[in-house]
Amino acid sequence: MELLSLNFSEFASGDTATKAQFSRKLVQQLETYGFATVYNHGVDEGLLKEAFEWSRRFFDLPMRVKLRSLHPAESNPNRGYSFIGQENLAVLTRADRRIEGRGELKESWDQVNSNNTSHPNLWEAAEELPDFREFMESFFHTLHDTELNLLDAIAAGLDLPAGSFTPLHTDRVDEFRLLHYPAVSADDMAKNTRTSEHTDLGTITLLFQDKTGGLEVEDQSANGVFHPIRVASPTMIINVGDSLQRWTNDRLKSAYHRVTVPKTAEEDSVIPSRYSIGFFAKPNSGVSLYPLPQFIGEDRPSKYEDLTVDEYHHQKRAQVY
């Protein structure tokens, strides 16, 4: 699926008409695909290169070091290091499409805002990488600011009042993830997957990926048909999360997506490694996920019960670990 990449500078620095045109195009892509791609999004290309380099350095650490920051076994929010097979997103796959016994061949690093005291970050492994923590904490806020700019554009494209989503994201409870999919033999890959098909829980996800490929999104008009998204960093991939789907009462839908064998490697005996960076924009924990008033009415009843972000995310998160 070749998405037309949109130029975010049209919204960031354009005149009123240009901003409106960009917002309409962005929402149209999200309505059609659940995904969009943008460039000139404000995240410096040099910063992105540095982030990918830190990711490689972290995952290259010895396992005994990475395990110092091991994600807890219980279903806490995502924190620290998760080894290959620890996370199982297959449980979020629709029951009729679930393939039992398939592992997920990836490892990850998860962090949140540094002021989170209820479930703080697990930095023990980072002690082996001077300046890793400083960079990651700073980059978190860069991505959060970018998230707010994108949400302003989405609000405009939905004909919502300016800044409608900003007060719902003031607590910076987003989650920031580094992902590494190690090189694997084709035989092992045939018995497993990289990431099972799933949807994301938050408002939107900002994703950067290397050139390896493998990300696929489900066709919104053909259940079970998946298409590759081939763009690589510095182009940003945006996808709708469950929270935004609920707020818009399904006008914008959270598309199922997965990571599998890239089309270019289907005949290879070894599937190459893959790195990606995901930033999961999440609303304040006590915010209601009931559809916004602009998306419900006598002829459009709500499709969802009234749950807070915390209640909904806790239900889903408990299934994953």
Q: Is residue 296 part of a domain?
A: no
Q: What burial class does residue 18 get, using C-beta atoms within 10 Å of its C-beta: 0-12 exposed, 13-18 middle, 19+ buried? A: middle
Indicate if the alpha-carbon torsion angle 239, 242, 243, 244 is positive or negative: positive
The identity of residue 26, as a single letter, is L
**Contact between 274 and 259 (Cβ < 8 Å):** yes
Out of 131-135, 253-257, 309-313, least confident range: 309-313
**Cα atoms in the Cβ-side hemisphere of radius 13 Å centred on 130:** 0
Mean pLDDT on 35-41: 98
User: Tokens 């995901």 belong to which residue?
Assistant: 278
Measured CA to CA, the distance from residue 246 to residue 5 in angstroms comes to: 26
Question: HEC states along the chain?
Answer: CCCCCEECHHHHHCCHHHHHHHHHHHHHHHHHHCEEEEECCCCCHHHHHHHHHHHHHHHCCCHHHHHHHECCCCCCCCCEEECCCCCCHHHHCCHHHCCCCCCECCEEEEECCCCCCCCCCCCHHHHHCCCHHHHHHHHHHHHHHHHHHHHHHHHHHCCCCCCCCHHHHCCCCCEEEEEEECCEEHHHHHHCECEEEECCCCCEEEEEECCCCCEEEECCCCCCCEEECCCCCCCEEEEECHHHHHHCCCCCCCCCEEECCCHHHCCCCEECCEEEEEEEECCCCCCECCCCHHHCECCECCCCCCCEHHHHHHHHHHHHC
Task: Provide the number of structural domains found in the chain.
Answer: 1
- Tens of pLDDT, residue by residue over 173-190, are 999 999 999 998 888 887
Q: Is residue 96 part of a domain?
A: yes
Q: Is residue 240 part of a domain?
A: yes
Question: Residue length, the chain?
Answer: 321
Q: Is residue 245 part of a domain?
A: yes
**Top-confidence residue, 141 or 118:** 141
**Contact between 61 and 51 (Cβ < 8 Å):** no
Q: Is residue 188 part of a domain?
A: yes
What pLDDT does 268 receive? Answer: 77
Measured CA to CA, the distance from residue 180 to residue 154 in angstroms comes to: 30
For residue 33, give the nearest of 4, 58, 60, 59 by alpha carbon.
4
What pLDDT does 74 receive? Answer: 67
Mean pLDDT on 265-281: 89
- Tens of pLDDT, residue by residue over 40-95, are 999 999 999 999 999 999 999 999 999 999 988 765 678 999 998 777 665 545 44
- Tens of pLDDT, residue by residue over 143-155, are 999 999 999 999 9
Q: Is residue 303 part of a domain?
A: no
Q: CATH number, domain at 46?
A: 2.60.120.330
Percent of the chain, pLDDT > 90?
Answer: 75
What pLDDT does 37 receive? Answer: 98
What pLDDT does 78 receive? Answer: 84
What pLDDT does 101 receive? Answer: 47
- Tens of pLDDT, residue by residue over 88-112, are 665 545 444 444 445 788 999 999 9
The answer on pLDDT for 191 being more than 80 is no
Q: Is residue 309 part of a domain?
A: no
Beta bridge partners of 104: 193
Angle at 25 between CA 221 and CA 175, to 5 degrees: 80
- Largest distance between two CA atoms of the chain: 59
What pLDDT does 103 receive? Answer: 73
Q: Count CB-CB contacts under 10 A for residue 313.
A: 21
For residue 261, give the nearest of 172, 203, 188, 164 by alpha carbon.
188
Find the domain containing 147 and state its range.
6-283
**In the structure, what pLDDT confidence band is assigned to residue 3 with cuts at 50, 70 and 90?**
confident
Measured CA to CA, the distance from residue 281 to residue 132 in angstroms comes to: 22
Measured CA to CA, the distance from residue 26 to residue 156 in angstroms comes to: 10
Mean pLDDT on 112-132: 92
User: Tokens 């309409």 belong to which residue?
Assistant: 24
Mean pLDDT, the chain, rounded, equals 91
Q: Is residue 317 part of a domain?
A: no
**Top-confidence residue, 95 or 305:** 305
Whether the predicted model's global pTM rises above the 0.85 cut: yes
